[in-house]
Amino acid sequence: MSEQSFEQMLNESFKTIHTGEVVEGTVISVKPDEIILNIGYKSDGVLTKNEYSNDNSIDLTQVVKEGDTMDVKVLKTNDADGQVILSYKRLALDRGNKRIEEAYNNQEVLTAKVVQVLDGGLTVVVDEVRIFIPASLVSDTYEKDLSKYEGQEIQFVVTEYNPKRRRYIGNRKMLITAEKAEQAKKLFETIGVGDVVEGTVKNVTDFGAFIDLGGADGLLHISEMSWGRVENPKKTFKVGDTVKVQIKGIDGSKIALSRKFDDENPWKDADSKYAVGNEVTGKVARMTDFGAFIELEPGIDALLHVSQIAREHIEKPSDVLSIGQEVTAKIVDFNEADRKISLSIKALTAPEQTEAEEDGDVVSVDIEKAIAEQDAE
C-alpha cells in the first residue's frame, strides 16, 4: 500500500467538518486560558478563553474539566499550525440571540450579573449577549454613582432588540416603577387618617422630611415634627432613620404626616400645672418688641409681655432678657381652648399691686399670630 493511499484512508476514517458547523467535542485537556477538544476530526480542536466567554476574568480550569462534552462552532478548519479553531461563545451568542428575542417579544423579566460599570450605564451578559442598560434606565431616581451595581445581579426587561447592529437595551426603571405603583396601590388601600405607621426617612429639607411608607412618600412638615419647637429638621432626622408617624391627612397621592401624638400632648394636663396663680420657671425661647416667649416645656410657650417683665418701664424685652435665660414668673392668664398662657414677673415682685392695676397692665396678644409674624421675618 502506498504512503499516499494510507493517508487517504486515514483521512477517510475521520468525519468531515466545515467552517460554521456546530460539532460536539470532548475535553481532553484544560488550561486556564485554553481548552483542547476531541471533535472526531484528524486534528483536535482548540478553544481559547476569548472564544469561550466574554468574561475576561474567567479561569477555564474552574468551569470545565476533562471528559466534559460541549457543543462548539467551527471557526477555522486548518490554521497556520494545522489546528481546528473553535468557539463556544459564538454558538452561545447565536442561541442567546434567540433567547433575548423571545424575552423581548414576551417582555420577560431577566436576571443577570453586572459585568461592567460605565459612565453612561451598566452592561450585563445573558447567554453571551451583552445588554446595555443606560444610566437613565437603571433606577427611577437619578444615580450619579453606579459603582454599587458592580458584580450585582439585577432584574430588567429588554426594550430594544437589534441583532444586526448588536444593539440590545435593557430597562430596570420600568420594573421599579411598576413595583412601586403596585406597592402604592396596596398602601392606599390599607392606610387611613389617624393610623400610626413606621417609615424610613428618605430625604430631609429645611421645611420637613419625606418619609418612605413602603409604596409612597409622606411629608412630615417641620411644624408636625414635635410638640416642641424644631429649629432645623436636619439636626433632628437623617436619611435612613426609622420613624413612627401618624397619618394626618390624605389628598390624592399626597400624604401628610405628624409626630404630634395625642398621648404625648403637653396640653393634656396643662390646666392643673399652669393654673392661674401658679409660679413657673422656663427659658426664654424667642423675643419680639412686645414681649418674650417663655418655653415652660417642649410644646408649651407662654407670653411674658414687656409690661409684665418689671415694675419699671422697659422699652423692649431684649434690654433685660436674653435667649436661653431662665426666668420665674406667675401665671396670670390661662386659656386652654386657644392654648395661650400669659406670665408676669411683676406679679411676683409687686404683690401689693392692686387688682385694678394688674388688669390695666395685662395686654391681650394673639400668640399664634405673633409667632407666625416672627417666623415670617
The pLDDT of 257-279, averaged and rounded, is 89
CA–CA separation, 278 vs 341, rounded Å? 12
Average confidence (pLDDT) over 264-275: 87
Average pLDDT value for residue range 276-301: 92
Give the pLDDT mean for 292-317.
92
Residue 265, pLDDT score = 87
Q: Which amino acid is at 368?
A: E
Predicted confidence at residue 358, as pLDDT, reads: 46
The predicted model scores a pTM of 0.57
273 pLDDT more than 70: yes
> Phi/psi of residue 157, each to 5°?
-125, 150
CA–CA dist 65, 329 (Å, integer):
89
Angle at 119 between CA 116 and CA 122, to 5 degrees: 35
State residue 359's pLDDT score.
46
Averaged pLDDT for residues 100-110: 95
Q: Higher confidence at residue 20 or residue 82? A: 20
pLDDT in tens, 12-42: 445 688 888 999 999 999 999 999 999 988 8
Average pLDDT over residues 131-139: 96
pLDDT at residue 271 greater than cutoff 70: yes
**Percent of the chain whose predicted confidence (pLDDT) is above 90:** 65
Measured between alpha carbons, how far is residue 92 from residues 22, 70, 125, 152 in Å? 11, 11, 11, 22
Which is more confident, 359 or 222? 222
What is the tens place of the pLDDT at every residue in 322-377?
Answer: 999 999 999 999 998 888 999 999 998 755 444 434 444 444 455 555 555 555 55
Question: Does 219 or 163 have the greater pLDDT score?
Answer: 219
Concatenating the DSSP letter of every residue in 11-34 gives: HHTSPP--TT-EEEEEEEEEETTE
Mean pLDDT within 192-207: 94
The fraction of the chain above a pLDDT of 70, given in percent, is 88
pLDDT digits (tens, 9 = 90+) for 31-71: 999 999 999 888 899 999 999 987 788 899 999 999 999 99
Residue 15 and residue 3 in contact, taking contact as beta carbons nearer than 8 Å: no
* Backbone dihedral angles phi then psi of residue 129, each to the nearest 5 degrees: -95, 125
> Would you state the pLDDT for residue 350?
55
The pLDDT value given to residue 188:
93
